[in-house]
Amino acid sequence: MVPPRIFIYSGSCASTSFPHQQAQYCEEDRSLIPKRQMSNLRIRFHVLLLFSSFVILTTSQHDPLKSKQKHVAMFVFGDSLFDPGNNDFLNISVTQGKANFPPYGETFFRYPTGRFCDGRIIPDFTASFTGLPLWRPYLDPANHNLVVGANFASGGACVLVENNPYTLNLQIQLGFFKEVVNLLTQQLGDTDTKKLLREAIYISSLGGVDYMTFATSSSNVTESEMQEYVDIVIGNITEAMKEIYELGGRKFAFQSVGPLGCLPLIRARYNSSGKCVEFLQILATMHNNALAKAAEKLEIKLSGFKYLIFDFFTSLMDRTNNPTKYGFKVGDNACCGGGAYHAGACGWLTEEYELCSDPNEFVFWDADHPTEHCYSQLAQLLWNGTENVTWPLNMKQLYELDIDTELSSQDIDLIAVGK
């Protein structure tokens, strides 16, 4: 086993208790755009655009990289499903949300990166499909190239601030995005920054932790109370997306909440018979239905707003119920963990965990996160899946969509209607 690479935040942020304070008081530690790169950022942006106009590759359904490449930045918001290691730079304990120890990361990176997985996660694959590098945590004090975007996701992140005060909730992530917009504007200028933001993709995975928290703290709730809670979560997501839109965002990729009631963690905690917990399944479904309606309303209300909904719920559920259909052997137990369903701790300080010999045979890596192999399949569906898994567009279509051309076409249509 390769020794773990421990990420130590050596600056003054190490003792900061609240994540949002890091952006305010740690400028000397986290140079988002290194000084030696600042003067060249505008030139590099133009070079990327110029180069992309000459790069033509053969389109292939089986190899997303063999498609016409252009530069489209990506900004990632979410929880542990999308976290590339941001939590490693927070002043929190392992039990509050870290994965910076073996055997995490062993399949691809060969060392723990802070991802809650044995290897790459969905945003890594989608970045590769579009020619972007694998994600580094936004909070990593090392050099960043913000022209490609940024990943703000944080394990345990909630939409509602009060549900988890320890990690980067949606509002903090939104604050970081605004910080990036300001930095890009300073270096690229207003025109080029607006173009970059207009063509960028904003991908999110939000809400799962909120519903897990709600389930833990609530009992005997009525359907109307569940719907009221869902509406609050969706309302907060909607307002955040509106803010991104006001800052220039136009292309949004929403990942639905997964089958929470069927996670190994939940099966072990709530139901000894191994069946999925219906209460959480209903909550997730209610959220996903409300998310689809909210996105549709935003498209109607906001000019140029384009979106996709990726049915993460059904896609993961199908693999959980029918693992052999997709090349897996085990769909309910985790590869790494202890106890029933291997839903106990994976690695860290416990010696009472088991590690499977081949993570590729398992749908789940740990108690509540899929394996890299599962993520790779799901990312492929997100990228070029049909309308039964991602609608009204898939991510490849969203990526290739030219917002300026789309807006011009809408203007022509409006003029024609006016006549």
Q: Where in the sequence numbering do the catalytic residues fall?
A: 80, 366, 369
Say if CB 317 and CB 301 are below 8 A apart: no
Closest CA to 333 of 355, 352, 349, 311: 355
Distance CA 187, CA 196 (A): 12
Residues 173, 152 contacting (CB under 8 angstroms): yes
Pairing of the two strands 354-355 and 336-337: antiparallel
Buried b (16+ CB within 10 A) or exposed e, 350-378: eeebebbeebbebbbbbbbbbbbbbbbbb
**CA atoms within 13 A of residue 113's CA, in its CB half-sphere:** 22
Share of the chain residues as helix, strand and coil, in percent rounded to the nearest 5? 50, 10, 40
Residue keyed to tokens 């929190």: 92
Q: Which two tokens stand for residue 171?
A: 């509002």
The three-class DSSP label of residue 243 is: helix
Q: If you compute the radius of gyration of the chain from its CA atoms, what whole number of angstroms results? A: 21
C-alpha span between 268 and 342 (Å, rounded): 9
